[in-house]
A and B are shown apart, each in its own frame.
Chain A
Amino acid sequence: MTTTAPDLRKVTPPAKAKRGGGVMGSTGLYIATGIAALLFLIPFYLIIRNAFMADPEITGEEWKWFPTDIQWGNISEPFDDVTVDFARSLWNSVVVAVLHTTGILLVCSLAGYGLARIPYRHANKVFYAVLATLMVPTAVTFVPSFVLVSSLGWVDTYRGLIVPGLFSGFTCFLFRQYFLGFPKELEEAARVDGLGYWGAYWRVVVPNSLNFFAAMATITFINGWNSFLWPLVIGQDPSAWTVQVALSSYMTNQTVNYHLIFMATAISILPLLFVFLFLQRWLVQGIAQTGIKG
């Protein structure tokens, strides 16, 4: 598209580039970044503000940044609400997200390793079959998937919520890319020591890839916890709702109970913020490593 600065390479780069800016420039930079950061934080703040406010204050004529009286009692309200079993939906989400993460890591990492490392005549054909599924986003196949799952009798079950999501072409692809870059020497040493592929995988490859596994686990967990369309389709009965479906149901309720809705939202985000703060290093690393960087 654009060819640029043709004589760049002729110049030897001895001198340090002068960094523009100075005090003025960097102050402006920090102001701009600070304003952007505030805008990004406002929605989070609003959840917390509304969660601890009384309804009349939320919907009052006058806008208040702080509750005049913090309503600590609001915390228990989603759990006392009889129309939606919020505690149950939270538990469902925990089960689904944990099993989804465990399962997807197990199944997809094994497949990714097989595709990356084990010589087999038709491995390329298999790989192209996996690649082909990347082009068909799972959200588009939800109609036929629902048809399949309902004919298996899996509607409203954990199986139905979890199993169909385990075979992610994308995750398998990412693991393959990762294992292609894994140092071969380590495995070869293990093989010389008498381990088979299976042994080498579990005793050498996995223990040396914990960073990448942690990164993928974090991403998968967040996706599992936040997924909405599939749980909505499968959770026909309220007892099978995940927390996202429960939250969504608050919006269609006749009476809008603001502080309850926002308290429930805050509670639903909390586990992820926890995951986020503790595993952020891996999360960032994992996203940066996804194999689509320049």
Chain B
Amino acid sequence: MSTATTHKVAQPASAKVSKDRPRRGLRASSTFNFWLFTGPFLIGLVIFVFVPIGWSIYLSFFEARFTVTPSDFVGFDNYKQILTDTDFRNSLVTFTVFAAFIVPATWALSLGLALLVNQLRFMRAFFRSVFFLPTACSYVAAALIWKMSIFNGVRFGLANTVLSWFGVDNVAWLANPDPPWYWLVIVTVRLWLQSGFYMILFLAALQNIPRELYEAAAIDGAKQGWQTFRYITLPQLRATSTAVILLLLIAAYQAFDEFFNLLGKATWGQPPLVELYKMALGENQNYGAGSAGAVVLTLLICIVTLFQGKIMGFGRGEESK
């Protein structure tokens, strides 16, 4: 277990190392190799993930405007400030509303598309590609199309043009929060962008369901369609469904791009990350409060993730070495 000495061994040219391995003992060799393989990643992880998190927690207890090396310890003042800040609290409400719409909607749409594509006998690859294609599009590009071409507040936008065919007046989709039409814009853009990705996950899962289950059900007289879906497909997809919901929740928490680009200057409908961005990198550069907000948000995400993890055991690899 001479870990200390093995670190001094020079970069191994593969052949050489293997020649003298038997003499050095297997355990020391694998310890060295473990660090050789994981070392660069772990060093980076510590510097660029753990240090920022630690620094963030540290900054959150200090008065830190325009500076990252603060001296005034303020205890929980930043937390008080951020938790009483109406904008930040509203952003948490916004997130909750957003998640309440987008998670079930994406789940249903991506599962629906997967079921459709899975049933096709011809052109399956073609349709799969079409639904998957928006994955290549960025949130910024999609926000541009949505804001400037589809949900433009004046007549030449596609949505208003279509409405005008039915004699409906122009709707100002993004310009005011009452009625909150902006939700339609925000939810549809993400729905379009991400459904294809989750469809692929559902397709993979659908193809893993043993055919015998359906055959047996048919013999038992189960009707094709709703009954087999309800009693075979859906239960068989449970693991994938929960994973998809978890990923969707995390993705919803990270919402930034489309909100920033669609509602940049609006005072409504801002999710937590946009608020934090404004707080830390806006005019005030308040790193202290911004960090406190990041800590609060991280804790919330951890709670949600752990709660979900309890239900489904995500990440607990049942596989052994």
Contact = CB atoms under 8 A, between A and B. Distances in A.
Interface size class of A (residues with CB under 8 A): 35 or more
B37 A288 contact: no
What band does the interface of chain B fall in when counting residues whose beta carbon is under 8 Å from A?
Answer: 35 or more
Nearest to B319: A180
Interface stretch (A66-74, A77-85, A271-279): A271-279
Contacts, number: 358
Contacts of A138: 49
B68 A150 contact: yes
A133 B14 contact: no
Given A37-B130, A113-B37, A137-B250, A7 B204 contact: no
Contact of A194 (B15, B45, B49, B146): B15
B135 A120 contact: no
B205 A144 contact: no
Interface of B, helix, strand, loop or mixed by DSSP? helix
B76 interface: no
Contacts of A195: 14-15, 18
B136 A273 contact: yes
Mostly, the A contact residues are helix
Contacts of B238: 1, 294
A29 B49 contact: no
Given A111-B42, A146-B280, A293-B205, A137 B253 contact: yes
A67 to B, nearest CB: 14
B219 A134 contact: no
Interface string A171-206: 011000100110000000001001111110111000
B108 interface: no
Given A118-B34, A265-B141, A198 B12 contact: yes
A40 B188 CA distance: 11
25 contacts: A8-B217, A15-B218, A17-B214, A20-B225, A36-B131, A40-B134, A47-B145, A63-B158, A110-B40, A120-B34, A121-B31, A137-B250, A166-B44, A194-B15, A196-B29, A198-B14, A199-B18, A228-B260, A248-B260, A251-B147, A256-B148, A265-B144, A287-B201, A292-B201, A294-B239
**What are the 7 A-B residue pairs with the smallest beta carbon separation, nearest first?**
A199-B14, A114-B37, A111-B41, A144-B52, A144-B56, A288-B204, A20-B224
Given A63-B156, A273-B136, A284-B200, 10 more contacts: A60-B156, A129-B42, A146-B281, A148-B48, A164-B48, A229-B273, A251-B144, A262-B148, A268-B141, A293-B240
